[in-house]
């Protein structure tokens, strides 16, 4: 009886399957249809062929299959995976799944890691954008890695260390893109970096994992849809001779796209954002002042080589959870060349922000702190003096608009006179996204502003806006 009910359920899934599949195809852009048709799973091919037969033929075919065969066809990854979701053949050290939103790339990476954990006992790592997402992806969501592997294979877990031990001896560690240094000291056999482009520290996370991959094959799988500021790191990965790239558009997973995401994809079709998020196109986003192609990186510069170093501080006008961040960016110069040395920007109380500014000053042995005081920020030197009254503070006043102030610094970038000593994700995204003609509401390019103030002071760009210089040690109360 149970077998008969199961067969009837399968037939109900097969009836008109091709008709329903074609209906979905008719709703997507015409240029995407061939990609979808040529990239279907073994299960989809089987069900389309089966749906073309009569009911009694379908029943006969399904009855002829064993229960294990039916389970394999309808539920196994071997049959449900599309071609680009399977690991590449031949040698590779990095498999980059560069795909559109909702295309099933994360599931493909989990299936690869499942096979590694169960068949090649060793130490593995799974990284996500945040600690919360890492826990969800590994152990909390219905399609979590542990559920895909099977909880019967799990021996124990340590929530404090965020580690899972399996009965065959394999160990899995979780990693947040906010804390890449936690990968240090590990001897890993393999790793997955899920949605790398959205990590706070993508470059550092990738570097630390590569140092840790020193057992067995040491392979890593990276999944991501591009973001505005991720082109640099993605191009670097793609250009590596040991990288193989696969992927497809969001439409390839059409059978599993439901609800608002389907309409969202259609709405963004033909836009730059749609090309990036639906088709995973590597688009060079350029703002009206800064361009991604102007960002140069030089990581071999020492602070001791600098002629001068300053901390640019662009304070927010309020100090609460809804406030914009305070931009805190460290910049230096050697001759006529500029260098971005650090980004310490944050949101918090005025005490927390001041502590961070002083930390940036001390870490980079800066000459002074350059503070913008348009919004009644005259109290900021006093705030700094409560920590260290010997720190020189330069107060600057913006009498001109953001575009006018930023243009000369943009020209320095275009002239290739400014280097970034590392990949400053949030700062760079803010710079290339800034459109002075369309600043929305209370949006503020705080990090960009801090950088502009620092370089403006270092290169004396705005001589007419010299501002006030405070030395709290020589004259704490008299200005």
Q: Is residue 286 part of a domain?
A: no
For 45, the domain range is: 2-80
* 117 and 253 housed in the same domain: yes
Interatomic CA distance for residues 257 and 262, integer angstroms: 6
Do 304 and 167 sit in the same domain of this protein?
Answer: no
Based on the domain organization, do 71 and 113 belong to the same domain? no
pTM above 0.85, yes or no: no
| 287 falls within a domain | no
304 and 261 in a common domain: no
Residue after which a domain boundary falls, among 17, 49, 80: 80
CATH number of the domain at 100, please. Answer: 3.40.50.300
Q: Are residues 170 and 105 in the same domain?
A: yes
Tell whether 266 and 340 lie within a shared domain. Answer: no
Please name which of 120, 164, 130, 123 lies closest in space to residue 146, comparing C-alpha atoms.
164
Q: Are residues 266 and 306 in the same domain?
A: no
pLDDT in tens, 281-292: 987 766 778 888
Residues 210, 351 within the same domain:
no
Q: Which of 8-12, 238-242, 362-366 has the lowest mean pLDDT?
A: 8-12
Q: Name the percent of the chain lying above pLDDT 90.
A: 50
pLDDT band of 18, cuts 50, 70, 90: confident
Strand partners for 221: 95, 192
In CATH, what number is assigned to the domain containing residue 381?
Answer: 3.30.420.280
Is 362 a member of any domain?
A: yes
Q: Is residue 478 part of a domain?
A: no
Q: Does the pLDDT of residue 478 top 50, yes or no?
A: no
SS3 sequence, the chain?
CHHHHHHHHHHHHHCCHHHHHHHHHHHCCHHHHHHHHCCCCHHHHHHHHHHCCCHHHHHHHHHHCCHHHHHHHHHCHHHHCCHHHCCCCCCCCEEEEECCCCCCHHHHHHHHHHHHHHHCCCEEEEEECCHHHHHHHHHHCCCCHHHHHCHHHEEEEECCCCEEEECCCCEEEEEECCCHHHHCCCCECEEEEECHHHCCCHHHHHHHHHHHECCCCCEEEEEECCCCCCHHHHHHHHCCCCEEEECCCHHHHHHHCCCHHHHHHHHHCCCHHHHHHHHCCCCCCECCCCEHHHCEECCCCCHHHCCEEEEEEECCCCCCCCCCCEEEEEEEEECCEEEEEEECCECCCHHHHHHHHHHHHHHCCCCEEEEECCCCHHHHHHHHHCCCCCCEEEEECCCCCHHHHHHHHHHHHHCCCEEECCCCHHHHHHHHHCCCCCCCCCCCCHHHHHHHHHHHHHCCCCHHHCCEEEECCCCCCCC
pLDDT(345) > 80: yes
Mark whether 160 and 185 lie in a shared domain: yes
Q: Are the CB atoms for 184 and 156 separated by under 8 Å?
A: no
Per-residue pLDDT tens digits for 421-462:
988 888 998 998 887 766 554 457 899 999 999 999 999 865
| Average confidence score pLDDT of the chain | 86
Tens of pLDDT, residue by residue over 175-214, are 998 888 888 889 999 999 999 998 988 888 999 999 999 9
Residues 27 and 95 in one domain: no
- Residue 436 covered by a domain: yes
Q: Please list the residues that pair with 337 across neighbouring strands.
A: 334
Considering 279, 305, 339, which residue would you say is the last residue of a domain? 279
Q: What is the pLDDT of residue 3?
A: 66
Q: Is residue 161 part of a domain?
A: yes
Q: What is the pLDDT of residue 442?
A: 47
What does the buried/exposed string (b/e) look like for 293-330 if buried means 16 or more CB atoms within 10 Å of the residue's CB? ebbeeeeeeebeebeebbbbbbbbeeeeeebbbbbbbb
Query: How many domains, in total, are found in the chain?
Result: 3
Write down which residue in 253, 279, 305 finishes a domain.
279
Same domain (yes/no): 125, 245: yes
Least confident range of 42-56, 304-318, 459-473: 459-473
Domain-embedded: residue 408:
yes
Residue 29 inside a domain? The answer is: yes
450 and 316 together in one domain: yes
Q: How confident is the model at residue 321 (pLDDT cuts 50, 70, 90)?
A: low
pLDDT for res 415: 87
């Amino acid at each position: 009886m149970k077998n008969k009910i199961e067969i009837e359920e399968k037939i109900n899934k097969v009836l008109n399957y091709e008709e329903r599949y074609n209906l979905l195809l008719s709703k997507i852009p015409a240029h995407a249809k061939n990609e979808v048709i040529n990239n279907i799973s073994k299960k989809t091919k089987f069900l389309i062929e089966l749906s073309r037969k009569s009911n009694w033929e379908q029943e006969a075919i399904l009855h002829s299959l064993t229960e294990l065969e039916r389970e394999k066809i309808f539920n196994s990854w071997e049959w449900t995976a599309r071609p680009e979701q399977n690991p590449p053949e031949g040698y590779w050290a990095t498999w980059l799944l560069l795909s559109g939103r909702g295309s099933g790339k994360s599931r493909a990476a989990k299936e690869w890691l499942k096979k590694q954990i169960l068949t090649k006992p060793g130490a593995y790592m799974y990284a996500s954008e945040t600690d919360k997402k890492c826990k969800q992806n590994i152990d909390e969501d219905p399609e979590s890695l542990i559920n895909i592997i099977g909880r019967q294979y799990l021996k124990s877990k340590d929530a404090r260390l965020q580690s899972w031990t399996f009965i065959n001896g394999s160990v899995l560690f979780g990693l947040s893109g906010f804390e890449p240094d936690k990968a240090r000291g590990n001897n890993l056999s393999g790793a997955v970096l899920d949605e790398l482009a959205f990590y706070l520290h993508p470059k550092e996370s990738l570097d630390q994992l590569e140092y840790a991959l020193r057992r067995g094959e040491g392979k890593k799988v990276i999944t991501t849809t591009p973001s505005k500021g991720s082109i640099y790191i993605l191009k670097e990965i793609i250009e590596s001779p040991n990288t193989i790239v696969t992927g497809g558009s969001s439409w390839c997973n059409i059978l599993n796209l439901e609800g608002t995401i389907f309409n969202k994809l259609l709405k963004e079709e033909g836009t730059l954002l749609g090309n990036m998020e639906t088709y995973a196109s590597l688009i060079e986003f350029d703002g009206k002042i800064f361009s991604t192609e102007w960002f140069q990186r030089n990581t071999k510069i020492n602070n001791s080589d600098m002629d001068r170093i300053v901390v640019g501080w662009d304070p927010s006008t309020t100090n609460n959870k809804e406030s914009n961040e305070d931009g805190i960016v460290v910049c230096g110069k050697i001759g006529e060349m500029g260098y971005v040395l650090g980004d310490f920007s944050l949101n918090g109380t005025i005490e927390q922000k001041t502590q961070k500014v002083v930390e940036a000053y001390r870490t980079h042995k800066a000459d002074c702190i350059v503070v913008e005081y348009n919004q009644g920020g005259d109290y900021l030197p006093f705030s700094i003096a409560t920590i260290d009254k010997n720190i020189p503070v330069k107060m600057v006043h913006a009498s001109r608009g953001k575009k006018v102030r930023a243009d000369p610094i943009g020209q320095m970038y275009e002239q290739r006179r400014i280097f970034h000593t590392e990949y400053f994700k949030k700062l760079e995204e803010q710079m290339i996204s800034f459109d002075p003609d369309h600043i929305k509401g209370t949006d503020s390019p705080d990090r960009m502003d801090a950088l502009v103030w620092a370089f403006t002071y270092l290169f004396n760009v705005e001589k007419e806006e010299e501002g006030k210089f405070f030395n709290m040690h020589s004259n704490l109360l008299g200005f």
